[in-house]
Amino acid sequence: MIPARRYAREIESRWTALLERPVVFGERDWALICDWHARGIPLTLIEDAFEQFGEKLRRWRRSPRNLGAVAPLVDEAWRTVLEGRIDGEQDAGRSIGPTARESWERRIGDLVGPLRDWLRDLLDRLDAGAPAQECEASLREGLLDHLPAGLRSEIESEVSAELGAFRERMSPEIWRSTRDAALFSAARRRLGLPPLSDPAPSPKGDETF
């Protein structure tokens, strides 16, 4: 994954070219870019989404006001990638496929202490019939709190360094929510835990047109 600053500049350049006018991103645009970067969405995928959006844009008479207009296409493309990584075997209703389960089992086996026990309990809940989306929400809400202090501190330092360039572009509220999402994504990548359900949609702008 390329550095956050370069990632943002590339998106800004591509979005400007697509709209054929100068672009000034707002704080929610920056939050969306941070979210894409934190989730590891590659620029090639975003560029493909921009191309799809460009086809629609040519049929419209109005220009989108922010990146929220293209976010659903990015999310859909990224969801397809993630599903492909777990062989498309995930049942969106109640269970994960065997490839994803193998990854979870392997990672849980590598851990010790409260984090291992908590993740095992989460997987057991899924096996007992809890909805995958509910377990995914529990993971998002509790993962950071169950990380060992040293690992959490390391991840927080890395995320702060990566996203610090955007802090002045956001209100304190948007910054906190963006940083929290980035911390979760970074922790999940570090632990190698595949999704239990469809990824949560990216944060959208207040209005797209």
CA count, 13 A, side-chain hemisphere, 181: 22
CA count, 13 A, side-chain hemisphere, 148: 10
Query: Which pair of structure tokens corresponds to residue 53?
Result: 């959006």
Q: List, in sequence order, every residue forming a beta bridge with 91; answer none if it has no partner.
A: 95
What is the distance between the alpha carbons of residues 153 and 64, in angstroms, rounded to a whole number? Answer: 39
Q: What tens digit of pLDDT does each residue of 34-90 get?
A: 889 888 899 999 999 999 998 887 776 677 888 999 999 999 888 888 766 544 444
Q: What tens digit of pLDDT does each residue of 138-195 get?
A: 999 999 999 999 999 999 998 888 888 788 888 888 888 888 988 998 999 899 888 7
State the pTM of this model. Answer: 0.73
